[in-house]
Amino acid sequence: MKQHLNASLFLTALLMGSLASAASVPDPVKPGQVKIDSGVLQGVESDGVVSFKGVPFAQPPLGPLRWRAPQPVTPWSGVRIASAYGHDCMQKPFAADEAPLRTEPAEDCLVLNVERPAGRTAGKLPVMVWIYGGGFVNGGSSPAVYSGAEFARHGVVFVSFNYRLGRFGFFGFPALTKEAPDAPHGNYGYLDQIAALKWVQRNIAAFGGDPRNVTVFGESAGGGSVHMLLTSPIARGLFHKAIIESGGGRTFLMGPRRLTRDLPNLPSSETIGVNFAKSVGIDGDGPEALASLRALPADQVTAGLNIMSMMANRSGPPTYGGPMVDGRVVVEDPQAAYEAGHLAKVPLIVGANAADIGFSSARTLDEALAPFGQNRDAALAAYDPEHTGDVHVIASRIAMDRMMVEPARFAAAAFAKIGLPVYEYRFTYVAESARQKWKFGAPHATEIPYVFDTVAARYGEKLTPADEAVAHTANAYWVNFARTGDPNGPSLPKWPRYDSRTDRIIDFRADGQAVGGPDPWRARLDLTADAAGGKE
């Protein structure tokens, strides 16, 4: 009986998420208020932007709702004041985060934020929905660099939201599957993302947004999430354009882990869940063990997990595995999906940074160049044009290309092959105050303040006019794309549409100019593509 009840609850949530609500009306109830499907919201106006923060899009995933698909919000009466960010999702923050949180993380975190232009607007505005990165263990919607105010000032309705992280968001356990066999399991953070996009479809018209013109965009784990949304059968129709910043493109960033099936050297999420239970003194994999896991305090579930601890050498069985192929939300890796044409037919912007992230354990040139086989010498020439012989630099460039740069090109080629508009970029520009520290180009995630035009929040008194100019340019491209599916516009340098025959991209160069043309890294990316399984 309990299994049927849980399945019914999930189906009810799914149906509620897919139907437009008659309660979402475009006219405010009073100035600064909107009526959505769960009640009336009171926003706050500042500097030409009206913001609505901390708006619940699902019930708090507490107690028996821990490790459940997001459930519908309980409607409220009266007017809900939406003036402050809700909690970012439970995690252990780390000091070096490029986007530090501005809330105290908690398990009660399934809220979103909307920023729109102030005043009455004519027509329906384009909508942009942001998905933050953080390795699926860190991140949130509250950081200052993720403010959507500049998007709103340029006529966009901007939405950001939280999704569950770490073991709260990505967790397998045998009793969970048996508890509700007809419901999706494991990728609860991804289900949160889909629930937020369904909320947008039901409610964004109340804020002046067009539910038929939604652009989803994300960086790092957020970019990887966009790959998931582009290839998931249950995300179809929830958005109409996509932007992927440093999100890979051949495999999911956390690897091809399965929910229930162990692979060679890759234990299933259920196996990892049992490992975690044992690590906190809980034996077994049945209902009693699951009840004990749900009763754990949130900080014991986090157990120190964050990006820094994931990268540290750890002994013993793994206790966290991240997203997985679950057969419902995630059915195949991006490369397989893109090669088979199993993708949302939408315009795409995709790219990576000039000094993006990549992981290599190579200690010698031979180890670094091993993936290239008989193309070793050509790869050495391509990856060490300065003839330095520096193993660290060469290995880092190879790892970066394998993880971020070449997979972005692979995704661009897959979309372009079937005639979809695709625009590829590389972000090289480094803030003038950081050039001594970042000598090889823009590191991972450093393009974000430029895209959002929030460089003042990132660099403060060190901000220069050149930094601001690049931010204005990048933000304008992103806004144009959200409006029309084409980033180009008046007074902007031409961004060429991607075609694998010409391999043209736009580079936000070190000198601050945005320049479109043939990719200067084509030769080395061709070699990396060959090593990955063939040219695009």
Closest residue by Cα to residue 347 from 244, 490, 489: 244
Please indicate, yes or no, whether the overall pTM of this predicted structure exceeds 0.85: yes
Amino acid letter for position 129: V
DSSP-based three-state secondary structure for 33? strand
> Domain residues of the chain, as ranges?
2-245, 269-311, 347-532
- The residue behind tokens 């939201």 is 161
Could you tell me how many helices (H) and strands (E) the chain has, helices first?
A: 19, 14
The separation between CA 348 and the C-alpha centre of its own chain, rounded to angstroms, equals 14
- Round to whole Å and give the CA distance between 295 and 289: 10
- Are 483 and 419 in contact by the 8 Å Cβ rule? The answer is no
Burial class (CB in 10 A: 0-12, 13-18, 19+), 269: buried
User: What are the C-alpha distances in Å from 351 to residues 57, 246, 446?
Assistant: 30, 6, 13
Looking at 3.40.50.1820, 3.10.350.10, 3.40.50.2300, 3.40.50.150, the CATH number of the domain 347-532 comes to 3.40.50.1820
Closest residue by Cα to residue 409 from 527, 305, 493: 527
Q: Where are the beta strands (DSSP E) in 19-145?
A: 33-36, 39-42, 44-46, 49-56, 79-81, 111-117, 125-131
Per-residue pLDDT of the chain (536 residues; tens, 9 = 90+): 434 434 443 333 443 443 333 333 444 568 889 999 999 999 999 999 999 999 999 999 999 999 999 999 999 999 999 999 999 999 999 998 999 999 999 999 999 999 999 986 667 999 999 999 999 999 999 999 999 999 999 999 999 999 999 999 999 999 999 999 999 999 999 999 999 999 999 999 999 999 999 999 999 999 999 999 999 999 999 999 999 999 999 987 767 899 999 999 999 999 999 999 999 999 999 999 999 999 999 999 999 999 999 988 677 899 999 999 999 999 998 999 999 999 999 999 999 999 999 999 999 999 999 999 999 999 999 999 999 999 999 999 999 999 999 999 999 999 999 999 999 999 999 999 999 999 999 999 999 999 999 999 999 999 999 999 999 999 999 999 999 999 999 999 999 999 999 999 999 999 999 999 999 999 999 999 999 875 45
CATH topology match: 2-245 vs 347-532: yes
CATH number belonging to domain 2-245: 3.40.50.1820
- Please enumerate in sequence order all residues whose Cβ is within 8 A of that of 524, keeping only pairs 6 or more positions apart, or say none: 379, 382, 383, 397, 401
